[in-house]
């Protein structure tokens, strides 16, 4: 993969459940680029994202993500790839019986951070980034939906990802809170230099916060300039 590209797929094919969902996928995402992924339900958006974080193998073609060859991944290297990625989904997937601090500490422990003082410093840093200082001892049920999604974004940032993959991150949020989350992701993208690939059905936020758009349609991927919404 060329250094300036965090994602590079060439004639990739991706199948799920024995069915070919996407084919002839040619996609490049630059290091530090912000990109929207759009398409109807069932068009293959989530399938594409799953291939990028190695939840689905490529059925054909080639692909590189964050310096990893998707065709050569194995049980040992998949976790290494995922440490370079930050994952944000529509569902928060926070551990309800643990505080915000313990949710984040769990991830750091699982990814090899052995020193408690370094974990503490990192947790406080990412909570500052997402404008949630002082929520360490709160539990997820004590937070609003927008605050929980900010914790999820903080969790995604813990290991300095090169790419944040966000699958409908505002799907469960009201418009005002959705705007806050988009502004946060755009700010982090600019300040941290992190690439963001964001799948969404919400064309309102695309119009309000414009960026490059790629479109899943008819089993293919198109750049926005090639299609009309």
Decide: 88 and 153 in contact? Cβ < 8 Å.
yes
Token pair, residue 83, equals: 């440490």
Domain ranges of the chain: 32-56+79-226
Could you give the 3-state DSSP secondary structure of residue 17?
coil
* pLDDT for position 1: 43
Superfamily of domain 32-56+79-226: P-loop containing nucleotide triphosphate hydrolases (3.40.50.300)
* pLDDT for position 3: 54
**DSSP structure class, residue 193:** -
* pLDDT for position 120: 96
Token pair, residue 67, equals: 């310096």
Instruction: Please give the average per-residue pLDDT across 41-52, as a whole number.
Output: 92
pLDDT band at 192 (very low <50, low <70, confident <90, very high): confident
Q: What percent of the chain has pLDDT over 90?
A: 76
- Number of helices and strands (H, E) in the chain? 7, 10
* pLDDT for position 227: 40
Instruction: Please give the average per-residue pLDDT across 154-172, as a whole number.
Output: 92
pLDDT over 90 at 224, yes or no: no
Strands 58-65 and 68-69: antiparallel
* pLDDT for position 211: 94
């Amino acid at each position: 993969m060329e250094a300036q590209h965090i994602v590079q797929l060439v004639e990739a094919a991706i199948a799920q459940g024995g069915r070919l969902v996407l084919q002839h996928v040619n996609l490049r995402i630059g290091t530090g680029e912000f990109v929207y992924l759009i398409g109807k339900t069932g068009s293959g958006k989530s399938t594409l994202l799953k291939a990028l974080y190695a939840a689905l193998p490529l059925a054909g073609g080639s692909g590189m993500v964050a310096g990893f060859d998707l065709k050569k991944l194995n049980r040992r290297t998949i976790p290494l790839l995922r440490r370079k990625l930050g994952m944000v989904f529509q569902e928060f997937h926070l551990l309800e019986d643990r505080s915000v601090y313990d949710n984040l500490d769990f991830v750091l422990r699982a990814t090899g951070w052995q020193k408690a003082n370094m974990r503490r410093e990192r947790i406080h840093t990412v909570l500052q980034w997402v404008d949630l200082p002082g929520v360490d001892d709160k539990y997820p049920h004590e937070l609003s939906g927008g605050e929980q999604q900010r914790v999820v974004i903080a969790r995604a940032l813990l290991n300095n990802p090169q790419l944040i993959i966000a699958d409908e991150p505002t799907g469960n949020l009201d418009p005002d809170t959705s705007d806050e989350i988009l502004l946060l992701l755009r700010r982090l993208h600019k300040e941290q230099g992190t690439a963001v690939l964001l799948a969404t059905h919400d064309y309102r936020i695309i119009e309000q916060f414009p960026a490059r758009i790629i479109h899943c349609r008819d089993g293919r991927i198109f750049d926005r300039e090639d299609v009309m919404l």
